[in-house]
Amino acid sequence: MVQLRDPKRKTRAYWGVANLERKSLELAKQKKSPEEIQDDNERTNSMGLFNMAEAYRLSAMALEEAKVRSGHADSPIRFLYYHALELYLKALLRRKHSVETITGFGHKFRRLVTEAEKLGLSVMDEDREVFSVMIDTNTIIEARYIRTGPKTWPAFEALHRTCDSMRECVGGLLRDAGVMVRI
């Protein structure tokens, strides 16, 4: 006879995962020591963020060029472009703000763009349209998680152009500030 597990009864695996999640949240909420904050600020700099953005941009371009033919093959490309844009903005913001402050901005593009503009970022109308779609829709989340139904996406060409534009503008501003970046 097959014995069925009571669906209301929590298994050891459930409690193990729940315990891990609880411990992770506790660690995330712990206040960092001044030494840890200083270490974060020294190790996460504008040049590193800019170079990481470059890696995501170049990876998006390579994956787009590979022309993968599969169910949701466009989603990883979009995600790579979105993340590159976020990192370019954060590279500029890191010139003024601490890592903790930038972390507080999260993935909120409206706030990132507004703050970056205060530091001299020039956003062309075409790029503002791309940011608008990213801000006003769930396009970023939908690039990461499956959700059926109609969607509004920026075209790859527009994402590519906006990445290039942010690369040039942020790269120029960083260079002017003495940060050694290749553009």
What is the model's pLDDT at position 1? 47
Task: Record the tokens describing residue 107, joined without a space.
Answer: 């993935």
Residue linked to tokens 């507004």: 114
Q: Return the HEC string of 171-182.
A: HHHHHHCCCCCC
- Return the DSSP state at 3: P
Q: What is the pLDDT of residue 3?
A: 47
| Entry pTM | 0.82
- How many whole angstroms separate alpha carbon 105 and alpha carbon 99? 10
At 10 the pLDDT is 52
The predicted structure's pLDDT at residue 12: 54
Task: Count the neighbouring beta carbons within 10 Å of the beta carbon of residue 154.
Answer: 21
Tokens linked to 178: 């003495």
Backbone torsion region of residue 145, taken as left when φ is above 0, otherwise alpha when ψ lies between -120 and 50, otherwise beta: beta
Distance CA 150, CA 23 (A): 38
- Domains of the chain, CATH where assigned: 44-176 (1.20.120)
Walk along the chain (183 residues) in steps of 10 and give the mean pLDDT of each run: 49 55 64 86 93 98 93 92 98 96 93 97 97 92 87 93 98 96 89
Measured between alpha carbons, how far is residue 9 from residues 4, 49, 61, 129, 166 in Å?
A: 11, 46, 48, 50, 52
Task: Check: CB of residue 87 under 8 Å from CB of residue 52.
Answer: yes
DSSP string covering 107-132 = T-HHHHHHHHHHTT----HHHHHHHH
